[in-house]
Each structure stands twice: as structure tokens, then as C-alpha cells.
């Protein structure tokens, strides 16, 4: 069996990635299985996990949510988990560093390794996919190419080459990802990107801004409702 494990947040990038993986030729072959994996880490935008479940259902793949309550204790200064307001504005702004959750992707990938390795039988192999993309690089060091290369090496070494890491969107921005999602008929009304975790989405956080810019670039209309759909146009 070849396993394909997608780290699925419920945001638009990982939702697209799940569809991308589910439709790979090698996945369509007999003997492959896709596993969607999400983490409940006390994120403010926990509603995204409902959308993650909906995307997994759309792709007809199994979905597992691993509770990581401890991450909140490790990240008291992060706006995504702690008692800190979610900053407004674009990602390039210094205040976006507040959205860093220490060690998040390292922890997620280590747990994905453990989750997948626990399923392998003799002769099975697996690929882990995560949806880091070029737009994440500025403020999130654990979304950069060097990190992915290092983690791939660590994962291969730890599993004697039975499991590897692939980051297909490393050189793509959100507009590129949406271009692909359109061809895969991803339903973006069932995704959540807003860091504030509100419905309608705030439209003011870096994540909302980047998403709306991406939809503009791909010449698509974002099906989500926003409290302020025009805010992101400031300081473009």
C-alpha cells in the first residue's frame, strides 16, 4: 500500500492540496490510500476543522483530527492561540509575527510521521504533503524551502526511506493555488482562512488580505462573506 497523508487545516491552500493529491494518477491506481490529517491546537479559528472535514468528505478520503491542547500552553504570545488580538493588515507588516505559533509545522510534521508510520505494514510506503507556499515565506521560517528540505531528510532518515515529505506549492502563491483549485472544482465556500475565526470573515487580518488578493489575481470571486471586503485594498 502507498499512503498519501495530507496535512489539512481547512484553509484554502490545504483544501486545494487535498484535491490535488486525491487526483494524482498514482493515487488513482489500486493500492493507494489518501489520509487527511488535521490538528486541533487551540486555534482561534477552530471552525476551520469543520471545513477540513467537509473537504475530506468531498474527496471521499478518511479524516483524522489529533487534539494538541498543549500547543496553547507553548504559544502564549501567539495571536492564533493566546490572549493576543489578531493583527490587521498585510503579511509584510511586522505585527504579523504575532501570528507565529512556535514550532507549529515542526510539531505537525513530526506527528504526521508518527501517524503514518503507525499505519504502515511491511513493504508499505508513504508521502506526507503540506501546503506551505511562497506567500508564507516572509514571516514563517517553517514554511521555507530550507525547512522542507531539512524535514524531508529527517523524515526519510527516521523511517529508512519509507516515508518522504513533498511540498508541491513551495513556489506558488495563493493566486496560482486558486488557478489549480478551479481546475479541480474545489468548493472554496467550505474553507476558512481568517485568523480571527469569525463568520463572516474579518477581511482585515493578513490571512484574509492575502486570500482576497489571491482571488483577484486568479480572477475569481471569493464565495465567502466578509465583514469588510474592501479593507485589503489599502496599502496594496
Query: Least distance in Å: CB of 227 to Zn ion?
Result: 8
Query: Least distance in Å: CB of 46 to Zn ion?
Result: 14
Nearer to Zn ion, 71 or 196 (CB): 196
Nearer to Zn ion, 161 or 225 (CB): 225
With residue 216 as reference, give the H or E element that holds it: helix 206-217
Nearer to Zn ion, 168 or 203 (CB): 203
Query: Least distance in Å: CB of 188 to Zn ion?
Result: 15
Compute the distance between CA of residue 29 and CA of residue 227 in angstroms, rounded to an integer: 44
For helices 12-22 and 174-183, give the axis angle rounded to 10 degrees. 40
Query: Least distance in Å: CB of 110 to Zn ion?
Result: 28
Nearer to Zn ion, 3 or 51 (CB): 51
Q: Assess whether the previous peptide bond of 200 is cis (omega < 30° from 0).
A: yes
User: Under DSSP, is residue 73 helix (H, G, I), strand (E, B) or coil?
Assistant: helix
Nearer to Zn ion, 16 or 193 (CB): 193
Query: Least distance in Å: CB of 88 to Zn ion?
Result: 8
With residue 156 as reference, give the H or E element that holds it: helix 145-158
Residue 208 neighbours by CB under 8 Å, 6+ apart = 193, 194, 195, 196, 201, 202, 226, 232
How are strands ordered across the β-sheet holding 62-67?
A: 62-67, 32-40, 2-7, 125-129, 163-166
Residues 192, 11 contacting (CB under 8 angstroms): yes
Nearer to Zn ion, 91 or 115 (CB): 91
Query: Least distance in Å: CB of 30 to Zn ion?
Result: 42
Interface positions with Zn ion (CB under 5 A):
194, 196, 202, 205, 208
Amino acid at each position: 500500500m502507498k499512503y498519501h497523508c495530507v496535512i489539512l487545516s481547512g484553509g484554502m491552500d490545504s483544501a486545494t492540496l487535498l484535491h490535488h493529491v486525491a487526483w494524482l494518477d498514482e493515487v488513482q491506481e489500486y493500492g493507494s490510500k489518501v489520509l487527511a490529517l488535521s490538528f486541533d491546537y487551540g486555534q482561534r479559528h477552530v471552525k476551520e476543522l469543520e471545513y477540513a472535514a467537509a473537504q475530506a468528505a468531498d474527496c471521499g478520503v478518511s479524516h483524522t483530527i489529533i487534539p494538541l491542547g498543549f500547543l496553547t500552553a507553548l504559544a502564549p504570545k501567539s495571536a492564533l492561540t493566546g490572549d493576543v488580538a489578531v493583527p490587521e493588515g498585510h503579511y509584510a507588516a511586522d505585527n504579523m509575527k504575532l501570528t507565529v505559533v512556535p514550532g507549529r509545522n515542526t510539531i505537525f510534521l513530526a506527528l504526521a510521521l508518527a501517524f503514518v508510520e503507525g499505519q504502515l505494514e511491511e513493504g508499505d510506503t508513504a508521502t506526507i504533503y503540506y501546503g506551505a507556499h511562497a506567500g508564507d515565506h516572509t514571516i514563517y521560517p517553517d514554511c521555507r524551502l530550507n525547512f522542507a528540505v531539512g524535514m524531508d531528510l529527517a523524515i526519510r532518515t527516521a523511517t529508512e526511506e519509507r516515508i518522504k515529505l513533498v511540498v508541491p506549492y513551495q513556489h506558488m502563491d495563493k493566486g496560482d493555488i486558486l488557478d489549480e483549485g478551479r481546475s479541480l472544482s474545489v468548493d472554496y465556500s467550505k474553507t476558512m482562512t481568517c485568523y480571527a475565526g469569525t463568520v463572516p470573515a474579518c477581511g482585515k487580518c493578513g490571512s484574509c488580505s492575502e486570500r482576497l488578493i489571491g482571488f483577484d489575481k486568479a480572477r475569481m470571486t471569493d464565495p465567502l462573506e466578509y465583514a469588510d471586503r474592501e479593507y485589503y485594498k489599502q496599502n496594496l
